[in-house]
Amino acid sequence: MTRRILLSAVAPCALLGAFAIAAHAAAPQRTFVSGGGNDANPCSLASPCRSFTAAITAVAAKGEVIVLDSAAYGTVTITKSVSLIAPSGIYAGVTISTGDGITVNAPGGIVVLRGLSINGQGGDNGINLLQAERLRIENCVISNMGVDGVMHSAPGAELIVLDTIVRDNAGSGIGGDANASIVLDHVRSEHNGTNGFYIASLSALASATIIDSVFAFNGSNGIWIASTGTGRTFAQIERSVMSDNGGAGIRISNRDVADTYAGVTRNSIHHNFGDGVAVVGTSGSALRAAVSENAIFANDIGLLADGALTYVTAGLNNMEFNRTVDVKLANGGQVGTYSNNMGMNYLFGTPSPISGH
C-alpha cells in the first residue's frame, strides 16, 4: 500500500515537469524570418516566418529574431525584451506608408535593433520609443519619415544609438522629450527638416552624450539641447561636426523654471546659417555652458550668450570668419571666463575678442 501511495504522488510531479519542458520548447530563444517564409510556420531556421510580428510573437522574452535573407519584413510593435538582428550584407527593410515603423512599447524591456533599413513612404516616426528600460539602435538607416526618424518619449528610458544614419526626415532626425537619457556615438543626422538632434526635459532629469557624430544640412539646428517646465537637462558634446544647418550648429536653451547645463568640447562647428553655439535663456533659471577647444568658423555669430542668467565659459577655441561677430553678449548674458581663444571679429573691420561685453 505504501509503495502505491508514493508512486501516485510522484506521477503528477513528472507530468508537471513534462508540461514545463513543453512550454519552454514552445518559446525558443531564436526565431527566423525570410523573404520566402510563411507566418504559419514555427519561425525556425528550417521553417522561417515572413514577418517580424510573427517571429517576435513566437520567440521567448530576451530572445533574438534573425533575418535570413534580403526582404522587407513589415512594421511591428515590440512589447517585450527582444533583439531584431540583420547580419551584415543582408537588407532587412521596414517600409512605412502610415503610422510608425517600429513601436517599442515594452515596460521594463531591453530592445535591440541591429542592421535595419527603415524607410518612410508617408508614415510618421521611423522608431517610436514609448516604454522600455533600454533601446539600442545599432547600424541602422532611418530615412524619409513624415515626422521624426527616431522619437523618444519613454519616461526614464535609455536610448543608445550607434553607427547609424538618420536622414531626409520631415521633422528631426532624433528627438527626445520625456526626461530621457540618450547616447549617440558615430551617428550621422543629415538633411532633416528641423533639427538633427534635440532633447528637452519636461519635469525631471534628461541627459545627452554625443560623441564622434555628424549633424549637417538640417533645416533648423544641428543639435538643440533644451529644458522646459521644471526639468533639468545635462549634455556633453565632443569630437563631432555641426555644419551647414539652417539654424545654429548647437543651440542650448531653457524655458519656464528649467535648468540646462552643457559641455561643448573639441568639435568642428562651421558654415551654419545661424550661430555656431547659441546659449539662449528665456527664464529665471540657470543656463550654463562650457565651450572649449572647438573650431567655430563661418557662422553668423560664433558664440552667443543671451539672457540674464546665462553664463558661459570659453577657452582654447579657434573662432574665425564668423559673419557678424565672433562672440556676442545680449540681454545680460555673461562670459565668465574667456581665455586663450583665437580669432578676429571682422564686424566693421575692427578686431575685437568680444562684442557686447
Among candidate residues 123, 189, 178, the one with its CA nearest the CA of residue 151 = 178
Share above pLDDT 90 across residues of the chain, in percent, rounded to a whole number? 70
- Mean pLDDT calculated for residue range 142-153: 97
- Give the tens place of pLDDT for each residue, 315-351: 999 998 999 999 999 888 888 878 888 876 644 333 4
The pLDDT value given to residue 348? 33
Instruction: Let me know the angle formed at the C-alpha of 230 by 229 and 236, rounded to the nearest 5 degrees.
Output: 95
Among candidate residues 28, 30, 46, the one with its CA nearest the CA of residue 38 = 46
- Give the tens place of pLDDT for each residue, 31-41: 999 999 999 99
- Give the tens place of pLDDT for each residue, 149-184: 999 999 889 999 999 999 999 999 999 887 788 999
Show the domain range for 228.
Answer: 84-349
Residue 141 has pLDDT above 60, yes or no: yes
In a domain? residue 17 = no
Q: How many domains is the chain built from?
A: 1
The pLDDT value given to residue 205? 84
In a domain? residue 43 = no
In a domain? residue 42 = no
- Give the tens place of pLDDT for each residue, 184-240: 999 999 999 999 999 988 777 889 999 999 999 999 999 999 888 777 889 999 999
Lowest-confidence range among 12-21, 280-289, 311-320?
12-21
Give me the residues paired with residue 287 across strands. 260, 310
In a domain? residue 129 = yes
In a domain? residue 56 = no
Residue count of the chain, please give it: 357
Quote the distance between the C-alpha of residue 30 and its chain's center.
27
In a domain? residue 155 = yes
Please state, in angstroms and as integers, the Cα–Cα distance from residue 293 to each residue in 188, 264, 316, 343, following that order: 22, 8, 5, 13
- Mean pLDDT calculated for residue range 67-71: 98
The pLDDT value given to residue 25? 56
- Residue carrying C-alpha cell 557624430: 213
In a domain? residue 297 = yes
In a domain? residue 249 = yes
Query: pLDDT category, 258, cuts 50, 70, 90?
Result: confident
- CA–CA separation, 129 and 208 (whole Å): 16
Query: pLDDT category, 4, cuts 50, 70, 90?
Result: very low
- CA–CA separation, 262 and 286 (whole Å): 11
The pLDDT value given to residue 283? 66
